[in-house]
Chains A and B, each alone.
Chain A
Amino acid sequence: MNLLFSVVIGALFASGVYLLLRGDLFRVVAGIVLVSNAASLTLMASGLTRGQAPILPLDEGRGLADPLVQAMTLTALVIGFAVTAVLLALSLGVYRSGRSLDLGDMTRREAEEAAEREAGELAQDVEAPEEATL
């Protein structure tokens, strides 16, 4: 069981990271979803114990299954779900303003803005002494 879990988690995490490194906002979001599920599965795997369900009344002498990891995983799933919604909303915002989901376009526009900012600053710096000499 442990081996199965680790192989599945490894595969999920690896695919998630692969998608994260792609140049497309939607794939990045999908990558985050996969990584978040890999994390949830890790939580589940951290408390894999066989035993009776932890509901009262309990039989004496038989071990209990660990209920804590399930509670944690549920919480983590809810958080992962909320985070996915936030990320999708953010990518919608980016798409609306640029009409593109390409990460390359996004970085290009960012670089252009930075260059403009730099140029503006420099122009100001160069102009200033000339004004002073006049």
Chain B
Amino acid sequence: MTFIVAPVAVLIGAGIVLALIDGTRRAAGVVAIAALTVATVMLCVLLGRVAADGPQAVVAGGWPADVGITLRVDALGAVFAATSLAIVLACAVQTVLRGVSSRITLALTVFMGAGLTGLFLTGDIFSFYVFFELAMICAYGLTAAEGTEGRFRAAFTFAVVNLVGSFLFLIAIGALYRATGTLEMLAVAERAAELNPNTALLLAVTFLVAFGVKLGLFPFHAWLPAVYLAVPAWIAAMFAGALANIGAYGLVRFGGAILPRELGVAAVAVIALGGVSIAYGAVQAMSRRATREVLAYSSIGHAGYVLVALGLGGPVGLAAAVIFSIANSLNKALLFLSAELRGPLTAGVFLVGTLSVAGVPPSAGFFGKAALFEAGVDAGSIATVVLLFVGGALSFVYLLQIYQHDRWRPREERDVPTPKEIAPRAQRTVAAVVAAVVLALGLWPQPLLAIGDQAAAELTVEAPR
């Protein structure tokens, strides 16, 4: 049980310390990295326990079970928490090694880590909202930190669009509480099955919009490219690799576990929305030249895959959504971390990310795509399989376009990095480690696939239809 509460406690404690000291000092970097490492290790232990013994729960503060707030972690929450925090850790290490330029960034990073961990580990819908708001407010702050004009503009757009999403989510929570009379996810899922279909569908749509905004799905994506373009690469890597997981997790949790009947009703619409997102992201990405912009639009496209997997539904579809989200967040973090590094090995590291996104074995991305194909074939939907194939082919084209533009032109045509621009070895090592993880999961995918299947099985058992 301590492993559920302790990571959040460690991170919040470290965040408070970091907020009080000057974050540009060396000591601050040490504190931040230490806290993030400790929390990541604890989450990995927790993930191991959940994989071995099934879901774990604890009621905060020793209250009776119906009164206190339940912290509950199942395979879905544990794998998302461990992945997201590991990515935050990698990004933080990279920026500490390069030198932190603003005094609040590390504190905000650690608080964002706390918010992310908390929301994946809670079993209570309202505390989910609180942790989620904590992570989002830190993200707005991180976007604006260092205070240049472009950063403020991006942060304002980011904050306004996402706040509307958050308040819609809050309204949906109120409505769900009114309809079911409880806030505990398991009980809500049980009682949601007996809801009036109209109420439930309205709730489901509100949740879809709220998480669609966070994930950057097609009609709600307007904030995403502006933000990813304005912030430094390591922050973009955290947003794409860790923060976007909130949207994916929320869709799987609220769509797959709490309102699966409504998801089934709207399956065609959900798949269509995902398909539009995939096509829009890919086409926009192909037409952009700036590396960061291509990656931002490709994130919009990849959000669509999660939605398609959910729309396919069933244990296979849910497992595909989980496996793909995890592989995708690793890929995105890797691409953002390595795209702007120059020097020996960085091209290879970036290429690993590219091939993983395109789904070339041996890489984590291959198994993400394979799970999606399996779900499509399983559901007997030819259109979906074609869509997945075309989407994959397009992502191959636009990512290799950047690769070719940045690294493959004749030496005299491109900007050859001056020795000053070559990234320090430590910084390159961080990107290389993430690439090694992506490759390792491609060579030995068993843990990833098993945890995805376990998550899907737990979700469908919890809410039998």
**A contact residues vs B (CB 8 Å cutoff):** 20, 25, 28, 32, 35-36, 38-40, 42-43, 45-47, 68-69, 72, 75-76, 79, 82-83, 86-87, 89-91, 93-94, 97-98, 106, 109-110, 113, 117-118, 121, 128-129, 131-132
Q: Which of B156-164, B261-269, B433-441 contacts A (4 or more CB under 8 A)?
A: B156-164
Residues of B within 8 A of A32 (CB): 160, 163-164
**B contact residues vs A (CB 8 Å cutoff):** 126, 130, 133, 137, 140-141, 144, 147-150, 152-153, 155-156, 159-160, 163-164, 167-168, 170-171, 173-175, 177-178, 183, 226, 289-290, 409-410, 412-414
Residues of B within 8 A of A45 (CB): 174, 178
Contact (Cβ within 8 A) A87 B149: no
Contact (Cβ within 8 A) A68 B183: yes
Shortest distance from the beta carbon of A126 to any chain B beta carbon, whole Å: 11
Contact (Cβ within 8 A) A43 B170: yes
Contact (Cβ within 8 A) A46 B174: yes
CB-contact partner of B149 in A39, A42, A94, under 8 A: A94
With the chains together, A35 CA to B167 CA distance in Å? Answer: 7
With the chains together, A82 CA to B111 CA distance in Å? Answer: 15
Residues of B within 8 A of A86 (CB): 137, 140-141, 159
Shortest distance from the beta carbon of B82 to any chain A beta carbon, whole Å: 27
With the chains together, A43 CA to B176 CA distance in Å? Answer: 10
CB-contact partner of B412 in A36, A40, A113, A131, under 8 A: A131
| Contact flag A118-B289 (CB < 8 Å), given A91-B156, A110-B153, A132-B413 | yes
Residues of A within 8 A of B413 (CB): 128-129, 131-132
Q: Most chain-A Cβ atoms within 10 A of its Cβ — which of B126, B130, B156, B413?
A: B156
Contact (Cβ within 8 A) B152 A90: yes
Residues of A within 8 A of B140 (CB): 86, 90
With the chains together, A86 CA to B141 CA distance in Å? Answer: 8
| Contact flag A76-B152 (CB < 8 Å), given A20-B160, A47-B177 | no
Q: List 17 A-B contacts (CB under 8 A).
A: A28-B160, A32-B160, A35-B167, A38-B167, A39-B167, A43-B170, A68-B177, A72-B174, A79-B133, A83-B133, A90-B152, A90-B159, A93-B147, A94-B153, A106-B153, A117-B290, A132-B412
Residues of A within 8 A of B174 (CB): 39, 42-43, 45-46, 69, 72
Contact (Cβ within 8 A) A87 B156: yes
Contact (Cβ within 8 A) A42 B175: yes
Contact (Cβ within 8 A) A110 B226: yes
Whose C-beta in chain A lies nearest to the C-beta of B177?
Answer: A46
Instruction: List the 10 shortest-distance A-B pairs measured between CB atoms, nearest first.
Output: A97-B149, A93-B152, A46-B178, A46-B174, A39-B167, A39-B170, A42-B174, A128-B413, A43-B174, A90-B156
Residues of B within 8 A of A69 (CB): 174, 177
Residues of A within 8 A of B173 (CB): 43, 72
Inter-chain pairs besides A46-B177, A72-B126, A106-B153, 13 sampled, C-beta below 8 Å? A35-B163, A35-B164, A39-B168, A43-B174, A45-B178, A46-B175, A87-B163, A89-B144, A90-B155, A109-B149, A113-B150, A128-B409, A131-B412
Shortest distance from the beta carbon of B174 to any chain A beta carbon, whole Å: 4
Shortest distance from the beta carbon of B146 to any chain A beta carbon, whole Å: 11
With the chains together, A36 CA to B167 CA distance in Å? Answer: 6
Contact (Cβ within 8 A) B156 A47: no
Contact (Cβ within 8 A) B160 A87: yes
Contact (Cβ within 8 A) B153 A121: no
Contact (Cβ within 8 A) B290 A121: yes
Q: Most chain-A Cβ atoms within 10 A of its Cβ — which of B163, B177, B226?
A: B163
| Contact flag A83-B175 (CB < 8 Å), given A97-B148, A98-B149 | no
With the chains together, A93 CA to B158 CA distance in Å? Answer: 14
With the chains together, A83 CA to B164 CA distance in Å? Answer: 11
Residues of B within 8 A of A131 (CB): 412-413
Shortest distance from the beta carbon of A87 to any chain B beta carbon, whole Å: 6
With the chains together, A123 CA to B34 CA distance in Å? Answer: 46
Shortest distance from the beta carbon of A8 to any chain B beta carbon, whole Å: 14
Residues of A within 8 A of B137 (CB): 82-83, 86
